[in-house]
Amino acid sequence: MNVMRYNGYQARIEYDPRDNIFVGHVLGVADGISFHGETVEALTADFHAAIDHYLEDCRKTGRTPEKPASGKLMLRIRPEVHAAVGIAAAASGKSINQWVDEALAQASQRCLAA
């Protein structure tokens, strides 16, 4: 996946062959922020402008800007997976939260690098 980052926000980038442009969609924000550009430079500038506009609009309207994540993640997993995670965390001298944080960070980085 092609990802751009700016000011704490990330966007997925795709190429639209029909219009011959790059299109970006900000991830993890329900407000639906998108942008586009014919070149990487134009795409980057429009991404920055879209985020800056979003933040300014939130400031003007008194809304708190959404962030892609709060830092809290509730999961429902099979009991046997939960037990295995607990054992793996304990074996590595970490809490389940620490162990899962590291495991998810590694997995997400592999995904974003692909």
**3-state SS string for the chain:** CEEEEECCEEEEEEEECCCCEEEEEECCCCCCCEEEECCHHHHHHHHHHHHHHHHHHHHHHCCCCCCCCCCCCCCCCCHHHHHHHHHHHHHCCCCHHHHHHHHHHHHHHHHHHC
Q: What is the pLDDT of residue 56?
A: 96
Q: Where are the domains of the chain?
A: 2-61, 79-113
Q: What is the pLDDT of residue 68?
A: 74
Q: What is the pLDDT of residue 73?
A: 83
Q: What is the pLDDT of residue 67?
A: 84
Q: What is the pLDDT of residue 113?
A: 73
β-strand 2-6 against 9-16: which pairing, if any?
A: antiparallel
pTM of the model: 0.66
The amino acid at 1: M
* pLDDT tens for each residue of the chain, 114 residues long: 688 999 989 999 999 999 999 999 999 888 889 999 999 999 999 999 999 999 999 999 999 999 877 778 888 999 999 999 999 999 999 989 999 999 999 998 888 776
Q: Could you give the CA distance from residue 85 to residue 87 in angstroms, rounded to a whole number?
A: 5
